[in-house]
Every structure is written in structure tokens, then in C-alpha cells.
Structure 1
Amino acid sequence: MKLKTITRAAAVATGMTVAGLTLASSPASASAAADCGYACSVSKHVDTGVDSADYQAQVNNSTAGPGVTSWIWVWSNNSGAHADYYLNGDATMHKIYGPARSSASTTLSRDVTSFRVCGPNGFGGDACSAWAHPQY
């Protein structure tokens, strides 16, 4: 755990790019690097005036098991949703898709460093939550 903290602090201090996110060297960026606990969630509500939808994603970086360190879940009460996420040591953005009016989840072999939930905005695009940065 201490090595992760030192690595994160060094990344913030140098303003380098970690997991696809550029961390500046300001105190605000240091606090944003872990803006929720080991288990946290994000949500997005979309109201098009005709219909509405809620999208939600959760991450738990304290999940344990053989080859498992984290878990991610995505849900929607209307159209399908997806969660975008980055894994520790991997600069590629990954996605998990949930079907309409249902959910999907998966276990992961690396901790999630940042994630958000997205779903149809009713106008041909996606609406996404802000990025969350769980502890790991």
C-alpha cells in the first residue's frame, strides 16, 4: 500500500500522465487522485423532456480472490449503459456494457484507477458522469 501512495504522490508532484490522465502539480490534483474510497459509485440522470434514464456504475478495489483485486458493475433503468474505466498500470480505456433495464458486472485482476458511467442522452450521443478516482 505504501508503494502505491508514494507512486501516486510522485506522479502528482511531477505532473506526469498516469492511466491516461494528466495529473497537474497542484494540491487540488493531489486530492482528486483519490476522490472516493476503495468502493465507490457514480451516477448520471438524463431527462430529455420525453423520457428519462438513470445510469450507475460502482467499483470495489478491495475485492479479493484468486487473481482478483477489483470488481466493476454498471446498471440502467432504461436504455443500456456502459462504464469506461482505467486499470492500474494500463493506459488503455476499458469498457463494460450493461443491457437495457439491467446490469452487468465483472471481476478484474488489477485495481481501477478511474471510472465513469455513460448512457444514451436521447439526442444521438452519450451523457457521462464525472470521472471518479477510487483508492487502490
Structure 2
Amino acid sequence: MAIMSVILGAKMNLRREKLIKLCIAALLKDIVLVSSKVEKNIKYAYKQHPILGYEYLKKNYSLDEEILLAILHDHEQFDGLGYPNKLEDEEISSFARIISIVYSFYEIKINHIMLDKNQILFEENLKKI
């Protein structure tokens, strides 16, 4: 997903520095899901992993705020139905929006999930970027 996010970012004429940050965000977005602590309460951890990842990385590493916000906003949706903060449109980090487009692409094309809703969401999200 990181490589495809960088390709999309490059097509959007993002500068090299931004592309590097975008790549890091895409690589680290689910970092806490690989923790052994997550296995104990996977349902809770999955809904909370954007917050847990953001807090863990902010506390332990000196990452740029753009990277951290992309991780925090990873599961937000343009319509406000995402989590953890139910953000909408421009409230969502630009990196998170790019990564979301790539994720939708994978759902639709690679996994062959051709549901009308996913196709419509993909096209709507692509227009908004």
C-alpha cells in the first residue's frame, strides 16, 4: 500500500519530502496491530488502533505531525462515518485521504470486491482529492 500511495502522491505532484512522509505514514498506519497485547482484545484494539498507534509513535519517536495525523485519521471517511473521531472531508489529513484511496483500490481491484457501494466511494473519494 505504501508504494501505491507514493505513486498516487507523485501523480498529484507532491514534493519528494511529502512523498517520503506519505510512505512512512502508509507503512506505519497499522503498527499497533502487530503487538502481542492486541491479540488479547482484538475487537477493542482494532477500533482503537488509530489512536493507540498515534499515541505510541508520538511518545516514542520524533515523527512529523503530518505522518502522525495520517495514522490517527486512517479510518476516517469523507461522510463522517469513520472512526475514531468521525471527521469529514477536509478535516481528514491529506495523507490519510490518499492512503484511503489506495486502500479502496485494493478492496475493489485486487480482492475483486466489486460492490457498488465500494465503487461509488472510491470514485467519490478520488474526486475529492
In terms of Rg, which structure is larger? 1
Please indicate, yes or no, whether the TM-score normalized by the shorter chain is above 0.5.
Answer: no
TM-score (norm 2): 0.28
Q: Return the structure number with greater strand share.
A: 1
